[in-house]
Homo-oligomer: A and B are copies of this chain.
Amino acid sequence: MKIIEAIEKCKDDGTFPFFSIEFFPPKTEEALFNLQQRIERMSQNLGPLFIDLTWGAGGSTFKESLELSSWIEQYSGCEVMMHLTLTNISLDVIDQALNKAKEAGICNILALRGDPPRGQERWTHSVENFQYARDLVRYIREKHGNYFGICVAGYPEGHTECSDIDADISHLKSKVDAGADFVITQLFYDVDVFLKFVNKCRESGINCPILPGIMPIQSYQGFHRMVSMCKVSVPQYILDKLEEIKSDDDQVKAFGVEVAVQMCKKLLANGIQGLHFYTLNLERSVTKIIQELKVVKLGREAPWLRPANRHQEWVRPINWSKRPKSYIERTTNWDDYPNGRWSDSRSPAYGFSFSGTNVNYTNKQKEALRAIWGNPLTIKDISTVFLNFLNGQISRLPWFEEQGLQTETLMIKDFLINLNQYGLFTINSQPKVNCASASDVKVGWGPRNGRKGGYVYQREYIEFFCPRDSLNVIKEILDNYPTISYIAVNILGEEISNITEGDVIAMTWGIFPNREVLQPTILDPYIFKTWWKDEAFGVWANEWGEVYARDSESFALLQNIRNNYYLVNVLENDFVEGNLEKVFTEALGSLTKL
């Protein structure tokens, strides 16, 4: 969705104010991995309207910016805007960037002239009439019509190269006239300067949204460097206070948060409805500011990761709940969600393709993973790995995309530990939820504009691998409980189940004011027994086994489990009275602890 449309939707839904956050592409693989986790966290926990990603001078981060933007668009659950500059970049490269952005589903561009690359004093461009950001805006509109949402930069204190604020505003107007949808400003620390700037913009006929750019002070040195580079004026009390505390980094950061909160409050009080934060790829300050402002759109829209381009999607199988990216990847070609869900999964048009789990660990990664998973030789060794993950001693397990345990899993940690001690290796679960508030921090979810007053529900669910003889024991107990349903299947597709073919079962649902019932998670036995079975069994060999030599005992052990174990799911239909833990305690009594 174009950001200008998202802003208008905010207005219609009454979910003002909103905010956005800006990052830059990091330089190393590891930094990238950490930033992705950070973006995901901030996106899910804070609910920004969009995420902004910069573009290195002269196109120096072409590949990184495109790839990360594309990742954000697809996986963060948040709309992305990618910067694009024209300085020292050939038209070919700009065309490439725009085309690739389009292919990746990115539809928002911040069009900038750009700084000259390091070492060059001034910008140049070989093509005539292609010197200013407005030329880039015009070019994008000419080439791509209304496909892209376009943002441009505003300079509340005038551009560093332009001493005349009126001339600067007329430049801004020409950018908007060329087709830009809205404006984000350069950082500033004097709110009055920004408000005056907005007034002048309005007077000159710039009527689109103007988002103030807020950069929290993170360090004494960094702040002064930035201030002098951008030539922004700073109120004297800030300078004084910083001098006083400059030797204490923590105090400087805390003061930075305080200053930003005060600025934002003043902006909001003056009718500004959107705030843009320069994070410098840091998490804590901006998170604190947003939380203190109480503009946080806390909590999940759905109980699963909801990519920005999938606002129509409302139903998913429960099995992928710990592997949402795998699910998104599998269904990446879907662009239609009749009634919020896929069409009939038995239809050949279903297109739920399985490309196979395709991890490609480097040797270094393999070594690192062996360090945390060990070289298992027995089933007890396997159990230890699962237990270490549940106990927080290791942060990764191959069935879980996220590092560490989700809050929801933590709620039934002891139960899961118990199961794994008896050789039932749990890879998915959710606790029972009966009429919790949709705003509940652990299990709440719901539409951002209508979560208040909603109630959410979940059926208790566990999914685990176990050998056939354990399954027999468990089945005998489960069959005494008429409200419990289960399906067990091995790699060959041999099935033991008490579910009628064709049943599809609601696993998570919510009731919200002025809405129909939402039912975002279901169990579809057919999907479980086909695509999910293959993926879940595949992980033993392809994702875990992959870190060991093919002729190692550990690989053979994992392969053996894959070939002989059953994948079992168990759900308690009775979300009011049911208690799977109690039932399983009974079953474990007849099994042997490893």
Residues in chain A within 8 A of chain B (CB atoms): 339, 434-435, 452-453, 455, 457, 482-483, 485, 499-500, 503-506, 509, 511, 513-517, 519, 522, 573-576
Contact = CB atoms under 8 A, between A and B. Distances in A.
Contacts of A575: 511
Contacts of A506: 511, 515-517
Contacts of A452: 482
A511 B509 CA distance: 10
Contacts of A509: 511, 517
A499 B515 CA distance: 11
A482 B452 CA distance: 10
5 contacts: A435-B435, A483-B513, A506-B511, A506-B517, A513-B574
A573 B239 CA distance: 52
Contacts of A485: 513-514
The majority secondary structure among interface residues of chain A is loop
Contact of A522 (B457, B482, B516): B516
Nearest to A511: B506
Contacts of A503: 514-515
Given A517-B506, A576-B435, A511 B457 contact: yes
Contacts of A576: 435, 455
Contacts of A453: 482-483, 573-574
Contacts of A434: 435
A508 to B, nearest CB: 10
A573 B517 contact: no
A339 B341 CA distance: 11
A516 B516 CA distance: 14
B515 A517 contact: no
A72 to B, nearest CB: 30
Contacts of A483: 453, 513
Nearest to A524: B516
Contact of A505 (B339, B505, B514, B519): B514
Nearest to A453: B483
A504 B516 contact: yes
Nearest to A574: B453
A574 B452 CA distance: 11
A519 B516 CA distance: 8
Contact of A573 (B339, B514, B574): B514
Given A435-B576, A511-B575, A517-B517, 12 more contacts: A435-B435, A452-B482, A453-B483, A453-B574, A455-B576, A500-B514, A503-B515, A505-B514, A505-B515, A506-B511, A509-B517, A513-B573
A249 to B, nearest CB: 44
